Structure 1
Amino acid sequence: MNDTVNLAYDYPLLGALWTVLWIVLWVAWFILLFRVIADVFRDDDLSGWAKAGWLILTILLPFLGVFVYVLVRGRSMGARERRHLQAQQEAVDRYIRETAGETGATSTADELHKLSEMRTRGDITDEEFRLAKERILR
């Protein structure tokens, strides 16, 4: 057996940088791979068979499949991503509006503030202010 011990200082700096570069490239590759797979599923223009074909090509020959997909359909990937994000944002906004009950109505605090401003300007009397305030707080 070989009884040599490799210490950290035996690993050259250029070798460490090369290793870090390869790790970064592999991470970028996996990100691109998953973005392509998500884009295949997200695209409504592709038929089921076309989606299956792209997935089979991407899974069996990942480097070639992703490369060909990006060359053939890469230009429209950004537009599909943008549409998907806009649809998500609209759904979140719609949910927030429904949950908050915003149908153009103002909150009680807003109505009281407006009522107070009207009294300060002299548009309504103190008695009218009191009655309106009771109606709002009910």
Structure 2
Amino acid sequence: MGRIENGVVVLPGDQFPCRMTAVRPRAEMNDGKDTMSFLESLWSIIVTFFFIAYLILLFQIISDLLRDKALGGGVKALWILCLFVAPFISALIYVIMRGKGMALRSEMRVRESVEEAENYIREVAGAPTPTQQIEAAKALLAAGDINEAENARLKEIALA
């Protein structure tokens, strides 16, 4: 097999003999620092929070860019390129320059979706439209079933 000369294992045909070293136990290798301190844990939580907040902001910006009909394709591509090249500064610039517009566009989308949902519910439920409610109130007034004050109140409810 091999022979040991001056603490070196020499194998037959081995041109480069290697010195044997003692293997240190695992506890000596990391000096007992397997756990994180409280401050390291707190710092990790804070960094993770800000990273997730940044990702949410980035997705909001990209979705706002892609949904904005006023911007052309080249401007959108330039903004997205800037977001990938210099992410933090370009996100900050975007929020400063177009933040108010982001809020308005978001509010418009929410209003449109609420209106669509209400229209769908009215359509499915068969609820009368405000115009139909006012016509029905006029018919009741003409028939003498309600007075003028009740007609006005029904008209206000229909228009609300």
Structure 1 letter corresponding to 2:109: H
Instruction: Report the structure, 1 or 2, having the larger strand content.
Output: 2
Which of 52, 58, 79 aligns to 1:27? It is 52
Residue 48 of structure 1 and its aligned partner are, at CA, apart by: 2.1
Structure 2 letter corresponding to 1:103: P
Residue 61 of structure 1 and its aligned partner are, at CA, apart by: 2.5
1:115 paired residue number: none
1:6-45 alignment to 2 at 5 Å? 6-8=33-35, 11-45=36-70
Query: Under a length normalisation based on structure 2, what TM-score does the superposition of the two structures give?
Result: 0.58
1:51 paired residue number: 76
Q: Cα deviations across residues 41-94 of structure 1 (Å, max 9, x unaligned)?
A: 122221222222212221332222212211211122111111111111111111
Which sits farther off after the overlay, 31-40 or 92-101? Answer: 92-101
1:101 paired residue number: 126
1:92 paired residue number: 117
Report the 3-state secondary structure (helix = DSSP H, G, I; strand = E; otherwise coil) of the residue aligned with 1:87.
Answer: helix
Residue 69 (structure 1) aligned with residue 94 (structure 2): yes
Residue 12 of structure 1 and its aligned partner are, at CA, apart by: 1.0
Q: Which runs of 5+ in 1 are unaligned?
A: 107-122, 124-138
Structure 1 letter corresponding to 2:104: A
Q: Which runs of 5+ in 2 are unaligned?
A: 1-22, 134-144, 146-160
- Give distance in 1, aligned partners of 2:127 and 2:38: 61
Higher relative contact order (CA 8 A, sep 6+): 1
- Give distance in 2, aligned partners of 1:57 and 1:94: 40
Percent of aligned pairs sharing the same letter? 31
Structure 2 letter corresponding to 1:59: F
Structure 1: 4+ residue segments shifted above 6 A: none
1:92-131 alignment to 2 at 5 Å? 92-104=117-129
Structure 2 letter corresponding to 1:60: V
